[in-house]
Homo-oligomer: A and B are copies of this chain.
Amino acid sequence: MSARFDSLREEAWLANREIPRLGLAILTWGNASALDRDAGVFAIKPSGLEYDELKPENMVLVDLEGRVVEGALRPSSDTKTHLVLYRAFSGIRGICHSHSTHAVAWAQARRPIPCLGTTHADQTAESVPCTPMISAADIERDYELATGELIARSFEGRDPLRTPMVLVAGHGPFTWGRGALEAVRCAAALEELARMAILTLAIDPEAGPLPEHVVRKHWERKHGKGAYYGQK
């Protein structure tokens, strides 16, 4: 095992461990990966393993053509979706796919999540987009690859780091970030705002979106040029 990728495997392993800790998946569901962009290699969860069996050395190294570079196990069945996103979104270095309950519910309803409050605006200034339903032809061609392309198309002309999350219709959420842990934390934030949105609409089915000036302020104070949230 090449020592060169030890910290990449460690990063992917730590991020995957956070998935069940943050309540984002049960059993073996969900996966996270971390990319070394210079090497063109990412480390991803092996398919179907229990989270508490995972070790850094189980992480599978895959290149951006989808070839396993290192690792004894088969990589996540969603590996090609990760790969397409790493190629399409040049600014990202981590991806998380979960089946978190409330985000999945929105994906199953095939609806974008409207921005109803500052919890949402702290993550993104837009609705959480929902892809179209994948076609039979796309599934026939290459399901996981086509899923990635479907996501990438939803972000054409947009900065994927301004809305680092998407719902795949009928399936569930993908999130990403500058690292794998950031991607998993984004999945946790998405699950929470998805849950809050369902509850808000239970109180008032006509609840309107957060006014644009509040949305912009919250996003800017955390992610804008003059951001003053956090320590950096």
Give the interface segment out of A5-13, A32-40, A42-50, A82-90. A42-50
Chain B residues whose C-beta falls within 8 Å of the C-beta of A49 in the assembled complex: 231
The chain B residue with its CB closest to the CB of A49 is: B231
Determine whether A69 belongs to the interface, using a CB cutoff of 8 Å to chain B: no
Determine whether A143 belongs to the interface, using a CB cutoff of 8 Å to chain B: yes
Chain B residues whose C-beta falls within 8 Å of the C-beta of A214 in the assembled complex: 133-134, 139, 170-171
Chain B residues whose C-beta falls within 8 Å of the C-beta of A222 in the assembled complex: 77
Are B139 and A119 touching (Cβ within 8 A)?
no
Are B207 and A108 touching (Cβ within 8 A)?
yes
Chain B residues whose C-beta falls within 8 Å of the C-beta of A221 in the assembled complex: 77, 143
Determine whether A1 belongs to the interface, using a CB cutoff of 8 Å to chain B: no
Alpha-carbon gap, A22 to B198, bound state (A): 22
A83 to chain B, nearest CB (A): 15
Are B231 and A171 touching (Cβ within 8 A)?
no
Chain A residues numbered 91-114 whose CB sits less than 8 Å from any CB in chain B:
99, 101-102, 104-111
Chain B residues whose C-beta falls within 8 Å of the C-beta of A200 in the assembled complex: 104-105, 108-109
Alpha-carbon gap, A117 to B171, bound state (A): 5
Determine whether A63 belongs to the interface, using a CB cutoff of 8 Å to chain B: no
Chain B residues whose C-beta falls within 8 Å of the C-beta of A74 in the assembled complex: 228, 230-231
A82 to chain B, nearest CB (A): 15
Are B231 and A47 touching (Cβ within 8 A)?
yes
Closest 6 CB pairs of A and B: A48-B230, A105-B199, A136-B213, A109-B203, A108-B117, A108-B200
Q: Which residues of A contact B (CB under 8 A)?
A: 22, 26-29, 46-49, 73-74, 77, 99, 101-102, 104-111, 116-119, 133-136, 139, 143, 170-172, 185, 188-189, 192, 195-204, 207, 210-211, 213-214, 217, 221-222, 228-231
Q: 17 A-B residue contacts at CB 8 Å?
A: A26-B188, A26-B192, A27-B189, A28-B230, A47-B228, A47-B229, A99-B119, A101-B192, A101-B195, A108-B197, A110-B204, A117-B172, A118-B172, A135-B213, A139-B217, A201-B202, A201-B203
